[in-house]
Amino acid sequence: MRNGSGKFRAGLYGVVAAIGGAALLGACSTLPQKADIVVPPPASPPVPVAVGVVHPDLWPRGQSGVARDPAIEAEIARLLAQMTLEEKVGQTIQADIASVTPNDVRQYHLGAILNGGASGPNGNDRAPAPEWLKAADAFYKASLPATPERPRIPLIWGSDSVHGNSNIIGATLFPHNIGLGAARDPELMRWIGEITAIETRVVGADWTFAPTIAVVRDDRWGRTYEGYSEDPDIVRDYAGAIVEGIQGRPGDPDFLRNGHIIATAKHFLGDGGTDKGHDQGDNLASEEELRDIFSPGYQSAIAAGVQTVMASYSSWHGQKMHGNKALLSDVLVGRLGLDGFVVGDWNAHGQLSGCSNTSCAAAYNAGVDMVMAPDSWRGLYNNTLAQARSGEIPIARLDEAVSRILRVKLRAGVMDEGAPSARPYGGQWDQLGSPEHRAVARQAVRESLVLLKNDGGLLPLKPGLHVLVAGDGADDLGKQCGGWTISWQGTGNVRADFPHGQTIFEGIREQMRAAGGAATLSVDGSFREKPDAAIVVFGEDPYAEFAGDRETLAFEPGDAHDLHLLQSLHARGVPVVAVFLSGRPLYVTREINASDAFVAAWLPGSEGGGVADMLLRKPDGTVAYDFRGRLSYSWPRGPNQTPLNLPRASNPATAVAAYDPLFAFGYGLDYAHPRDLGPLPEAPDSELVAANVDTYLQAGHAVPPWSLSLIGADGAAASAERAPATTKGGALSVVRVDHKTQEDTLVATWSGSGRASLAIAGGAPIDLTRQSNGDMSLRLDLRIDKVPAGRAILAMERGAVDLTAALRAVSGAGWTSVAVRLSCFKAAGADMRAIAKPFALSSTAPLVVSIGSVRLAPGEGPPTCPAAPQS
């Protein structure tokens, strides 16, 4: 937003030169051919082959963009000499506001707090903005010394402002990073960083856990959308730019002051390259690949003066990053030149061998300076204090950690700026979602969209048309914003949570009316009068972190609802524009073939009007904006084509020969160079069936490879794949009925004549250990048609809980959901490492329940488990 002089910049639509591999397309709208692909040369020097061994001398030597200030260094020494051991230990611990009070901060001298994805003031993560600022003031005041002779070291508050201040209702929400990577616009990143910092300042926080500068190498990873690209060059160019936007430029008077806050480069190192894309998994790259692919973003961020780096949950060849001294201390600080502090991730220290959430000297000794112990902080404080006294954590190491934290606080001005409400922008509510900020977000949407197909030049649509807008993403701000939006997973949001936002349908309707046309919303695509064209908005539902991990890149492996919608419109002679909302490239070739035009819109955020800008002509019929987005990720031609990345190898010919995406890195069409794509080859249906770890029943049907069966009292199973079906003796029967679409609901009726179970099984055993540890739940979307007259038991393998009370509680509520945490099934005896029967509902008494879906969901259900069944 502001240029170097601090004045708001005009002319937001300048052309920025392509960076990295994007240059292979230039302004041309043709498909890149293998001969066109430029393979970056291998970095030098080569690294000796030694699995899991780090050679720091072979890593580049960098330097922080922030010079040491003798006055600050003297103040650090003065404070350190005054501090007690208890005060020093407290500075190294960060607690979550859901588990800590201002009095706790005062008693334990805590150096930082955070609000996790589900945390908010007074337990309300949807609290209005003034409540956040009020809480920030209370915690700040509690961190000040009770007596003037003690050192004055205020705490800092960290927050996941990852695509705008995305925790706060009413804030500006930008496209997620995957879309921004397609924009190829580092200057835009500076504006986004500045706006995010200002809107974070408004509510009293002074530290963001952003940017994520992961280089994503397997798109099955649930955090793919948090990465700008698979290409380290794009990540490198973006990292420094957005850090400067958030923090300001080192040397400028407002560096870390006024509208700027502390930034965090995360997650060090290699989080985007884990085996099979498993979140918190193991990166098996060579040291040379680790250096040349995953570290350039950190080199750029450090040169821009980033003040904190967050260690990754992930491992490198089996060693967890939170305990990897060679990489955290010898490389990150010793070679790359970080001059700030290293912060841990949410209880990640507890995953180290020999550690727990409440005790981990190994993380401190490896180089983690501030440990994130959201709900485990009290035990960690006591144990860390004891370890410092015993020498298990050397005092020199503790002093080093505290010095680094103090240095950042002194640079950021928290020692003398006063309470958050008295700081620049504190309480300036008109800054949240301001028209100027939203204009930049809308520009970011326009630049991020990638046109994959435009046969017959259907786009941009002419003014004066009657356009049908369909699909479940058309009028759903939560879906278009994705995860890390108000809530951790981005779920549970309603229209009222986005007072300044605009859905894609709202943006289309506004512009169509202004041009003399009309737009009609019909989610299911039905119409009475045939429209001139249809815009169908569909895609992934919101998720975050491991909840988004996938086994394949198939978009709809078990339910082709969106495909059928596209096909039905096309079959009725309606020209179809598909707008695909997703956090990664997915196999959607069938959907592309069923559309005349296809736009990858990623997760565009709160400004749906930016999508409309690109699809519609001006009222005078001229083109309003042309597409400039180019893929920053390679697009797969099949559901199992992963990992799939732009070649980087010492043998370019071999690398290019193996690189065969549907759409190459850098691909993107535009209006200036029209061309038809034509039919694309589709993968066989057999490739769409894969291990499905999170969805078992959808739209009343089992999702392959799972199958639905009825089990009678004698243990005999009967298939329920083709309802109606019944058990021998009639204790349980099922039929399918219509709810939203044809036969999308399974109605199960227990007659009370004997024990019977409705079960989902048949797939290969799946490992749900991470999901259980991550507090995920088994969720049933249902309606109780007849209250259970006796006990109803829900089981996952051998783990069973009594669901009777929960079903009775929602009787009469219409369609609703019931969720039980996976940890409850584990506590009841389920082996979460091998789940072959993820769902079984049984009863001996009369019960009628309509079920739409059975799936895993994050953090739902009461924290206490239902009672175990009584024998």
3 state SS of 168: coil
Interior angle at CA 151, CA 147 and CA 157, nearest 5: 105
Report d(CA 306, CA 212) in Å as an integer: 12
Residue 475 backbone dihedrals phi, psi, to 5 degrees = -130, 45
DSSP at 233: H
Phi-psi domain of 83 (left: phi exceeds 0; alpha: psi -120 through 50; beta: other): beta
Residue written as token pair 């099949």: 638
**Exactly one of 199, 345, 476, 860 is catalytic; which is it?**
345
Residue 227 backbone dihedrals phi, psi, to 5 degrees = -100, 140
Report d(CA 219, CA 278) in Å as an integer: 10
3 state SS of 179: helix
DSSP at 171: -
Report d(CA 108, CA 85) in Å as an integer: 11
Report the candidate in 65, 58, 69, 61 with the shortest Cα–Cα distance to residue 301: 65
Report d(CA 238, CA 301) in Å as an integer: 9
Query: For the chain, how many helices (H) and strands (E)?
Result: 23, 31
Decide if 545 is catalytic: yes
Provide the residue type at 720 as one letter: A
How are beta strands 207-208 and 156-159 bridged, if at all?
parallel
E-only strand ranges, 455-584: 466-470, 518-521, 533-539, 576-581
Q: What H or E segment, with its residue span, contains residue 698? A: strand 695-698
- Which sign, positive or negative, has the C-alpha torsion 389, 394, 399, 404? negative
CB under 8 Å to 277, separation ≥6 — which residues?
218, 219, 220, 221, 222, 224, 549, 550, 642, 643
Cβ count near 740 (within 10 Å): 13
Phi-psi domain of 248 (left: phi exceeds 0; alpha: psi -120 through 50; beta: other): left
Report d(CA 426, CA 431) in Å as an integer: 10
Decide if 185 is catalytic: no
Report d(CA 45, CA 233) in Å as an integer: 18
Q: Are 536 and 471 in contact (CB under 8 A)?
A: yes
Cβ count near 251 (within 10 Å): 10
Q: What H or E segment, with its residue span, contains residue 214? A: none
**Exactly one of 369, 506, 545, 670 is catalytic; which is it?**
545
Catalytic site positions: 345, 545
